[in-house]
Chain A
Amino acid sequence: MTDLAIAAYGLRKSYGDKTVLDGVDLAVPAGTIYALLGPNGAGKTTAVKILSTLITAGPGTGDIRVGGHDLATDPQAVRAAIGVTGQFSAVDGLITGEENMLLMADLHHLSRSEGRRTTAELLERFDLAEAAKKPTSTYSGGMKRRLDIAMTLVGGPRIIFLDEPTTGLDPRSRHTMWGIIRELVSDGVTVLLTTQYLEEADELADRIGVLHNGTIAAEGSADELKRLVPGGHVRLRFTDPAAYRSAVSALRDVTGDDEALSLQIPSDGSQRALRSVLDRLDSAGVEADELTVHTPDLDDVFFALTSSADIPDQPKEAVR
Chain B
Amino acid sequence: MSSLSLAVRDSSTMLRRNLLHARRYPSMTLNLLLTPVMLLLLFVYIFGDTMSAGIGGGDRSAYIAYLVPGILLMTIGSTMVGTAVSVSGDMTEGIMARFRTMAIHRGSVLFGHVAGSVLQAVISVVLVGAVGVAMGFRSTDATALEWIAAFGLLALVALAFTWIAVGMGMASPNAEAASNNALPLILLPLISSAFTPIDSMPGWFQPIAEYQPFTPAIETLRGLLLGTGIGNSGWITIAWCLGLTVLGHRWSKAQFDRDPR
Contact = CB atoms under 8 A, between A and B. Distances in A.
Interface of A: 52-56, 76-77, 79-80, 82, 84, 86, 88-95, 99, 103, 106-109, 135, 151-152, 155
Contacts of A106: 13, 16
Contacts of A82: 101
Given A94-B25, A95-B21, A86 B97 contact: yes
B121 to A, nearest CB: 20
A90 B100 contact: no
A95 B22 CA distance: 11
B95 A54 contact: no
A53 B101 contact: yes
A79 B101 contact: yes
B32 interface: no
B94 interface: yes
Interface in B105-121: none
Given A55-B260, A151-B98, A92 B103 contact: no
- Lowest 6 CB-CB distances: which A-B pairs, in order? A90-B94, A80-B103, A90-B98, A79-B103, A55-B259, A106-B13
Contact of B102 (A77, A93, A95, A107): A107
A86 B94 contact: yes
Given A54-B260, A99-B20, A92 B93 contact: yes
Given A94-B24, A95-B21, A107-B104, 12 more contacts: A54-B100, A56-B259, A77-B103, A88-B94, A89-B94, A90-B95, A92-B93, A95-B17, A103-B17, A107-B102, A109-B9, A152-B98
Contact of A92 (B95, B100, B101, B104): B95
B1 interface: yes
Report which residue of B1, B97, B98 has the largest number of chain A beta carbons within 10 angstroms of its beta carbon: B98
Contacts of A92: 17, 93, 95
Contacts of B97: 54, 84, 86, 88, 90
A80 B103 CA distance: 5
Nearest to B5: A109
9 contacts: A52-B101, A82-B101, A91-B94, A91-B95, A94-B25, A95-B20, A109-B1, A109-B9, A155-B102
B219 interface: no
Contact of B101 (A54, A56, A89, A95): A54
Interface of B: 1, 9-10, 13, 16-17, 20-21, 24-25, 93-95, 97-104, 259-260
- Give the dominant DSSP class at B's interface: helix
Contacts of B21: 94-95
A84 B98 contact: yes
Contacts of B20: 94-95, 99
A78 to B, nearest CB: 8
Contact of B13 (A79, A80, A95, A103): A103
Nearest to B12: A106
A11 to B, nearest CB: 15
Contact of B100 (A53, A95, A99): A53
Contacts of B101: 52-54, 79, 82, 84
B102 A79 contact: yes
Contacts of A90: 93-95, 97-98
A266 to B, nearest CB: 47
Contacts of A55: 259-260
A108 B10 CA distance: 9
Contacts of A79: 101-103
A180 to B, nearest CB: 18
A95 B21 CA distance: 7
Nearest to A80: B103
A92 B21 CA distance: 10
Given A53-B101, A90-B95, A95 B1 contact: no
Nearest to A93: B93
A80 B104 CA distance: 9
A82 B98 CA distance: 11
Contacts of B259: 54-56
A55 B257 CA distance: 10
A151 B99 CA distance: 11
A90 B21 CA distance: 16
A159 to B, nearest CB: 11
Contacts of A152: 98
B108 to A, nearest CB: 8
A86 B94 CA distance: 8
Contacts of B99: 107
Contacts of B100: 53-54
A53 B260 CA distance: 11
A88 B97 CA distance: 9
A241 B23 CA distance: 75
B123 to A, nearest CB: 19
Nearest to B259: A55
Contacts of A56: 259
A55 B24 CA distance: 32
A252 to B, nearest CB: 57
Given A86-B97, A90-B97, A91-B94, A107 B24 contact: no
B159 to A, nearest CB: 24
A99 B17 CA distance: 9
A107 B95 contact: no
